[in-house]
Amino acid sequence: MPRSASRLLSPSRVRLGVQAAYAIFLLYAGWRFVLYVRWAMGETEDFVPKPPSVEGFLPISALIAFKRLLFTGQWDPVHPAGLFIFIAVLGMAVLLRKGFCGYICPVGFISSLLARLGARLRIARRTGPRVSRLLSLPKYLLLAQFAWISVVSMDVESIEGFLLSPYNFVADTRMLQFFLAPSPTALTVFAVLGVASLVLPYFWCRVLCPYGALLSLLARLSPVAVRRDPAVCVDCGRCSRACPAALPVQRLERVSSGECVGCTECIAACPVDGCLSVTAPGKRRLPAWSIAAGCVAVLLVTWGAAQALGMWESPLPQAMVRRFHMMLQVGLITH
């Protein structure tokens, strides 16, 4: 590959490009969603269709709907796109490690920007493998709690009741209201998380994110991984220092940890050509950008399949959805 093309497709540029592109898309979808909510709340009669992609911010609802799908074979009619996105993200983890966290997740994008800022300010601190494992425990405990409350303890009848409840109909709008007008407590929590992310890079992702914990468990099944060739490794440690998950890459022959987000920053940092590479089954080498391309492809294929099946948008009457929003407006829906 020509040197100019190699620089253009460097892991940092590819990752930042995909993250920025998806962030811009989400900002556009968010703006359209605000216009939709204004109509749904009766603030205007100018109807703007709801962008289904915003349902991707409802992973708990999607998790519950996924259990319903497994037990009954019925698709979620309230937030169908959310269920499609959830399944796509699970599949992405199995195929491409935690590529969702590394390239798609907006919180991951914000975390990467804060990590860069912390490094520039020289306040970022690294943790060793043992400390990193201990720090990851809270997110697994949170995952277990959410799984118990939202899935294990709910039978099909309870799931039906939740998915068709007035609250679930307006859950995405409630989410929007939370971010547009956060409480003082929420602002304080955001500030603490932001400062913590400057000192401990990717604090939320590594310590507290239950969604990431679920993906970590599935990512262990991924056939794609970064491999190190011990025969040419010079043990400089640059790969380990570049890893956002603080994995000891220089001591591993295959980076099989569920915490790997597939960012390939370790490959970019390595001074020895061919020492580190992304590999498929059979140790077949892939381009460093293949995980990023695969993640984008999974989302596009999922969207295309949902559109072809006519299941990307909710089939429920807009008049009924608007009625629930009117109830929310006057305080009849609080939870």
Task: Convert the pLDDT of each residue in 173-227 to its tens digit.
Answer: 999 999 999 999 999 999 999 999 999 999 999 999 999 999 999 999 999 999 9
Over 80: is that where the pLDDT of 77 sits?
Answer: yes
Query: What is residue 250's DSSP assignment?
Result: G
- Residue 255 and residue 276 in contact, taking contact as beta carbons nearer than 8 Å: no
Q: How confident is the model at residue 3 (pLDDT cuts 50, 70, 90)?
A: very low
Whole-model pTM: value is: 0.94
For residue 166, CA distances in Å to 44, 192, 266, 276, 326 come to 22, 33, 47, 52, 11
- Beta-bridge partners for 286: 278
Over 60: is that where the pLDDT of 4 sits?
Answer: no
Q: How confident is the model at residue 11 (pLDDT cuts 50, 70, 90)?
A: confident
Q: How far apart are the first and last CA of the chain?
A: 55
Rounded to the nearest integer, the mean pLDDT of the chain is 94
Long-range contacts of 46-53 (CB under 8 A, 24+ apart): 47/318, 49/313, 50/172, 52/80, 52/81, 52/82, 52/312, 52/313, 52/314, 53/25, 53/26, 53/29, 53/81, 53/85
Domain ranges (residues) in the chain: 3-223+291-329
